[in-house]
């Protein structure tokens, strides 16, 4: 008869957990030395004693067993890869501010949206922006059950086993505090490496003849993504909790209050978090943290500001992929001086010819930089950039290298001016600067006129299509696209989805490509098959239409709901021309203007593009846009236009409120408009609505309608 687990008191539990955690950490340490570094410190007999003791404790007290237990991992082969986890609540990014004025603009925008007068208090939280790896930790009944990376914001990698080895992350949240633990709660934060831990890790890597990491962030990311969790367990990763995702309930009604709950539950939080009133207090905090930056012991790249009250956060909502209620105030980019060795021209997916500075390699912000953008030929002329110059470069927002200025007093006598190209360097087609009829000037960008006849444009379009924020096809990166295009395997978008069908019988050819073994080939087929169904907004963005980024793609998806409806609307605009009703219908939608309508008409009106899309749709199903409404409403799916001055809420909040209820917000009135909400001093839109016999509501009537 099996022996029942013994019952223990809370005090006994605490002692047992401590002993089991100590044994687990000690075993993981020796596993790392033995399996990862081939340098054991203890005998096999002593190691076996440690394992037997932990095995006995786990068998007697299974409810106290930690997900971080090394007994479940050691002796098994490392995983082939990480599975995917779809975030219940998307992990979105933040907008950025780079100077004091942009911070003031942010607080002013929040006040205008909420209709809060400048003299009234409005609390924000301010905290250091950790330069690490974003992570989402799911707790159910207070127990850690799952961890996922940010990924593309919608879907991340399942790194549960690896995260369970991080000592900062509790397997069980502390109960019995002033803050009740929700049944389901996703804690989000940043995994990072401290400066001293990073130094020691690199010393150990160098001593073992292994790769030395460039900076703590790269080291943290590399450590977390180890296929063998024993290696992750040996890395001194740390964690700060600062926000949340899915939650069955919230422990407080302010940002600062929820973070206080995190601390009470045993999660590490940043002690520097402050509640500030207004822009002046936020900027004072920013300067204080900036002065202390080098003494913190970990990397930060700015300060994050958030509206403190959660009800105000809900009212503010989101715009595109970022919240209206938060912003990241980045520190000035680090700069370095080097020599401009030459200027290359890159051809983008829309034909844009972008000059790129070829630099003598220089380290900027811990990263070796050998290329930097020069934007366009007008910018080169304005800065008087010449080959051979000494130049100052920086990583804009600590990400994209750019050339800041020329050090003129160090210019050599033989420095060579840049001569703009009149032809595409790849296909030889004329390179033109399109005329801007409204401004009466030439476009700042010179473009190849070759279209899909230009191999560079086709390659870049393919790279964009499979990129992270588009279809995100893992294993089909820039190098693979280049190789597959050059040998004729992938020439257009649809070829990606017929690649397996055409090449399953000739795997040897694929294996000839660098980095493609049997496992890589199998994973590629699976990754492609996983993207045969794609959400509408991702699909629109993936097509690479000029002037349509992620935000605009999402606006179009919200407006039309399906790809068929979008294409039909654009076809009507193409047939009727700029002054047609079909053209105005597209232009009417919030966030869509004439520039976007013209771009859509140009793309779908090109027979080559239309044919490429048709061939792609034979292999891909575009799923309708899922309009997220916070509650069911009589206005869900309706088109609403706001006009005039509203008094009870601002126009911006009214629009955001309507969208949260599932309505479509348009910028102008048409016969397809369902409701026109007219405030004081409503003008021509109100007159047109009456002429068309549309339903016109006052502000009070609108608020009554949506509350019914």
CATH number (domain holding residue 520): 1.10.150.20
Confidence at residue 81, expressed as pLDDT on a 0 to 100 scale:
66
In a shared domain, residues 373 and 426: yes
Give the Cβ contact number of residue 433 at 10 Å: 17
The band of 707, judged by pLDDT with boundaries at 50, 70 and 90, is confident
Domain end residue (candidates: 482, 502, 531): 531
For the residues of 427-455, what is the DSSP string, one character each? T--BEEEEEETTTTEEEEEEEES-GGGSH
In a shared domain, residues 302 and 374: no
Q: Which residues have CB under 8 Å from 268's CB, separation 6+?
A: 168, 238, 239, 240, 241
Instruction: Examine the pLDDT at 10 and tell me if it is beyond 50.
Output: no
Asked which of 30-39, 316-325, 565-574 is least confident by mean pLDDT, the reply is: 30-39
Instruction: Single out the residue of 418, 426, 414, 496 nearest to residue 455, CA to CA.
Output: 426
Domain end residue (candidates: 280, 295, 330): 330
Residues linked to residue 344 through DSSP beta bridges, in sequence order: 356
Q: Are 166 and 189 in contact (CB under 8 A)?
A: no
Interior angle at CA 644, CA 638 and CA 650, nearest 5: 75
Question: Which one has a higher pLDDT value, 146 or 398?
Answer: 146
Confidence at residue 662, expressed as pLDDT on a 0 to 100 scale:
84
Residues linked to residue 84 through DSSP beta bridges, in sequence order: 157
Q: What is the mean pLDDT of residues 378-405?
A: 88
In a shared domain, residues 424 and 464: no
In a shared domain, residues 319 and 465: no
Instruction: Examine the pLDDT at 78 and tell me if it is beyond 50.
Output: no
Q: Residue 118, exposed/middle/buried by CB under 10 A (0-12, 13-18, 19+)?
A: exposed
Q: pLDDT tens, 228-250?
A: 888 899 899 999 999 999 999 99
Asked which of 65-69, 480-484, 546-550, 645-649 is least confident by mean pLDDT, the reply is: 65-69
391: phi then psi, degrees, rounded to nearest 5: -130, 155
Query: Is residue 354 included in any domain, yes or no?
Result: yes
In a shared domain, residues 306 and 370: no
Question: Which one has a higher pLDDT value, 641 or 627?
Answer: 641
Query: Is residue 292 included in any domain, yes or no?
Result: yes
Instruction: Examine the pLDDT at 1 and tell me if it is beyond 90.
Output: no
Confidence at residue 513, expressed as pLDDT on a 0 to 100 scale:
55
In a shared domain, residues 222 and 105: yes
In a shared domain, residues 144 and 219: yes
pTM for this one?
A: 0.73
In a shared domain, residues 434 and 583: no
Q: Residue 469, exposed/middle/buried by CB under 10 A (0-12, 13-18, 19+)?
A: middle
Instruction: Examine the pLDDT at 59 and tell me if it is beyond 90.
Output: no
Q: Are 464 and 488 in contact (CB under 8 A)?
A: no
Q: Tell me, yes or no, if 129 is annotated catalytic.
A: yes
Query: Is residue 634 included in any domain, yes or no?
Result: no
Q: pLDDT tens, 373-383?
A: 999 999 999 99
Q: Residue 619, exposed/middle/buried by CB under 10 A (0-12, 13-18, 19+)?
A: middle
What span, in angstroms and rounded, lies between the C-alpha atoms of 497 and 17? 51
Instruction: Examine the pLDDT at 574 and tell me if it is beyond 60.
Output: yes
Query: Is residue 83 included in any domain, yes or no?
Result: no
Residues linked to residue 136 through DSSP beta bridges, in sequence order: 148, 188
Q: Are 584 and 668 in contact (CB under 8 A)?
A: yes
In a shared domain, residues 154 and 53: no
What span, in angstroms and rounded, lies between the C-alpha atoms of 297 and 295? 6
234: phi then psi, degrees, rounded to nearest 5: -85, 0
What span, in angstroms and rounded, lies between the C-alpha atoms of 190 and 674? 45
Question: Which one has a higher pLDDT value, 319 or 194?
Answer: 194
Instruction: Examine the pLDDT at 462 and tell me if it is beyond 90.
Output: yes
Q: SS3 for 299?
A: coil
- The label of the residue with tokens 């955001």 reads 656
Domain end residue (candidates: 449, 475, 505): 449
Percent of the chain with pLDDT over 90: 63
What span, in angstroms and rounded, lies between the C-alpha atoms of 456 and 136? 38
**Helices (runs of H) and strands (runs of E) counted in the chain:** 25, 28
How many domains does the structure of the chain reveal? 6
Asked which of 64-68, 105-109, 326-330 is least confident by mean pLDDT, the reply is: 64-68
Q: What is the mean pLDDT of residues 363-392?
A: 92
Q: What is the mean pLDDT of residues 180-196?
A: 97
Confidence at residue 30, expressed as pLDDT on a 0 to 100 scale:
67
Task: Output the CA–CA distances (angstroms, integers) from residue 243 to 173, 188, 262, in the order listed.
Answer: 16, 5, 9
The band of 71, judged by pLDDT with boundaries at 50, 70 and 90, is low
Confidence at residue 504, expressed as pLDDT on a 0 to 100 scale:
63
Give CA 535 to chain center in angstroms: 17
Query: Is residue 409 included in any domain, yes or no?
Result: yes
Interior angle at CA 545, CA 542 and CA 549, nearest 5: 70
Q: At what angle are helices 278-292 and 100-114 packed, to 10 degrees?
A: 140
Confidence at residue 2, expressed as pLDDT on a 0 to 100 scale:
39
Query: 73, 129, 330, 655: which one is catalytic?
Result: 129
Q: What is the mean pLDDT of residues 665-675?
A: 89
In a shared domain, residues 322 and 363: no
Query: Is residue 585 included in any domain, yes or no?
Result: yes
Q: pLDDT tens, 502-546?
A: 876 555 555 555 556 777 788 888 999 999 999 999 999 999 999
Question: Which one has a higher pLDDT value, 10 or 170?
Answer: 170
Query: Is residue 611 included in any domain, yes or no?
Result: yes
Q: Which residues have CB under 8 Å from 437's CB, separation 6+?
A: none
What span, in angstroms and rounded, lies between the C-alpha atoms of 52 and 658? 61
Q: What is the mean pLDDT of residues 7-24?
A: 66
The band of 493, judged by pLDDT with boundaries at 50, 70 and 90, is very high
What span, in angstroms and rounded, lies between the C-alpha atoms of 685 and 678? 9
Q: Which residues have CB under 8 Å from 155's CB, separation 6+?
A: 84, 85, 86, 87, 472
Token output for 333: 């980019």
The band of 475, judged by pLDDT with boundaries at 50, 70 and 90, is confident
CATH number (domain holding residue 17): 1.10.287.610
Query: Is residue 686 included in any domain, yes or no?
Result: yes
The boundaries of the domain holding residue 33 are 10-72
In a shared domain, residues 326 and 473: no
Q: What is the mean pLDDT of residues 425-449?
A: 86
Confidence at residue 34, expressed as pLDDT on a 0 to 100 scale:
46
Q: What is the mean pLDDT of residues 600-614?
A: 95
The band of 261, judged by pLDDT with boundaries at 50, 70 and 90, is very high
Q: Are 300 and 240 in contact (CB under 8 A)?
A: no
Q: Residue 229, exposed/middle/buried by CB under 10 A (0-12, 13-18, 19+)?
A: buried
Pairing mode of beta strands 84-86, 155-157: antiparallel
Q: pLDDT tens, 336-354?
A: 999 999 999 999 999 999 9
In a shared domain, residues 508 and 617: no
586 membership: H or E segment, kind and range: helix 581-588
The band of 396, judged by pLDDT with boundaries at 50, 70 and 90, is low
Question: Which one has a higher pLDDT value, 394 or 437?
Answer: 394
**Mean pLDDT highest for which of 23-32, 126-135, 441-450, 511-520?**
126-135
Q: What is the mean pLDDT of residues 253-266?
A: 98
Instruction: Examine the pLDDT at 43 and tell me if it is beyond 90.
Output: no
Q: pLDDT tens, 300-320?
A: 999 999 999 999 999 999 886
Helix (H), strand (E), coil (C) string for 452-501: HHCHHHHHHHHHHHHCCCCCCCCCCCHHHHHHHHHCCCCCCCCHHHHHHH
């Amino acid at each position: 008869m099996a022996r029942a687990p013994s019952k223990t008191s809370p005090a006994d539990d605490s002692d047992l957990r401590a002993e089991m955690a100590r044994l687990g950490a000690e075993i993981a340490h020796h596993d790392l030395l033995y399996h990862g570094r081939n340098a054991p410190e203890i005998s096999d007999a002593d190691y076996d004693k440690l394992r037997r003791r932990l095995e006995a404790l786990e068998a007697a007290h299974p409810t106290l067993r930690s997900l971080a237990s090394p007994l479940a991992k050691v002796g098994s082969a490392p995983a082939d890869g990480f599975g995917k986890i779809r975030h219940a609540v998307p992990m979105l990014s933040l907008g950025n501010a780079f100077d004091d004025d942009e911070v003031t603009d942010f607080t002013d925008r929040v006040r205008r949206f909420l209709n809060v007068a400048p003299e009234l208090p409005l609390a924000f939280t301010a905290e250091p922006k950790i330069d690490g790896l974003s992570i989402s930790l799911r707790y159910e009944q207070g127990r850690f059950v799952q961890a996922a990376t940010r990924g593309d914001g919608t879907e991340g990698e399942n790194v549960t086993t690896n995260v369970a080895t991080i000592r900062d992350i509790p397997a069980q949240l502390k109960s019995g505090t002033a803050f009740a633990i929700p049944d389901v709660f996703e804690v989000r934060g940043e995994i990072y490496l401290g400066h001293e831990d990073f130094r020691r890790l690199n010393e150990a890597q160098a001593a073992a003849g292994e790769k030395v990491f460039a900076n703590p962030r790269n080291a943290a990311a590399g450590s977390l993504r180890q296929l063998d969790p024993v290696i992750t367990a040996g890395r001194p990763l740390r964690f700060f909790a600062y926000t949340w995702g899915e939650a069955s309930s919230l422990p407080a009604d302010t940002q600062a209050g929820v973070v206080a709950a995190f601390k009470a539950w045993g999660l590490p939080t940043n002690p520097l978090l402050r509640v500030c009133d207004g822009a002046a207090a936020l900027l004072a905090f920013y300067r204080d943290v900036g002065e202390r930056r080098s003494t913190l012991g970990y990397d930060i790249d700015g300060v994050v500001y958030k509206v403190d009250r959660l009800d105000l956060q809900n009212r503010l909502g989101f715009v595109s992929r970022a919240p209206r209620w938060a912003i990241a105030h980045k520190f000035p980019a680090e700069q370095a001086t080097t020599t401009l060795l030459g200027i290359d021209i890159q051809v983008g997916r829309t034909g844009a010819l972008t000059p790129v500075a070829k630099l003598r390699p220089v380290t900027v912000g811990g990263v070796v930089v050998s290329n930097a953008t020069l934007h366009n030929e007008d910018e080169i002329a304005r800065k008087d950039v010449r080959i051979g110059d000494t130049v100052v470069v920086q990583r804009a927002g600590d990400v994209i290298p750019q050339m800041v200025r020329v050090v003129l007093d160090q210019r050599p006598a033989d420095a060579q001016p840049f001569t703009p190209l009149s032809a595409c360097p790849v296909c030889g087609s004329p390179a033109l600067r399109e005329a801007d009829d409204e401004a009466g000037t030439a476009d700042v960008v010179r473009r190849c006129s070759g279209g899909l006849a230009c191999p560079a444009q086709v390659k870049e379009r393919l790279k964009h299509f499979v990129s992270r924020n588009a279809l995100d096809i893992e294993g089909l990166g820039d190098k693979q696209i280049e190789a597959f295009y050059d040998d004729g395997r992938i020439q257009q978008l649809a070829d990606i989805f017929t690649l397996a069908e055409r090449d399953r019988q000739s795997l040897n050819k694929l294996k000839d490509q660098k980095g493609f073994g049997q496992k890589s080939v199998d994973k590629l087929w699976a990754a492609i098959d996983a993207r045969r169904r794609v959400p509408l907004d991702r699909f629109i963005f993936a097509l690479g239409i000029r002037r349509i980024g992620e935000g605009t793609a999402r606006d179009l998806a919200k407006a039309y709901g399906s790809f068929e409806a979008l294409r039909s609307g654009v076809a009507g605009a193409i047939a009727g021309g700029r002054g047609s009703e079909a053209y105005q219908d597209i232009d009417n939608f919030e966030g869509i203007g004439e520039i976007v309508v013209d771009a859509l008409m140009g793309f779908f009106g090109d027979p080559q593009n239309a044919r490429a899309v048709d061939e792609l749709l034979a292999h891909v199903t575009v799923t309708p846009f899922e309009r997220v409404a916070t509650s069911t409403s009589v206005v869900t799916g309706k088109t609403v236009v706001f006009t005039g001055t509203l008094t009870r809420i601002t126009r911006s909040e009214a629009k955001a409120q309507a969208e949260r209820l599932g309505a479509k917000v348009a910028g102008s009135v048409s016969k397809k408009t369902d409701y026109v909400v007219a405030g004081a001093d409503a003008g021509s839109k109100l007159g047109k609505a009456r002429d068309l016999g549309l339903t016109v509501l006052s502000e009070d009537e609108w608020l009554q309608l949506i509350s019914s």
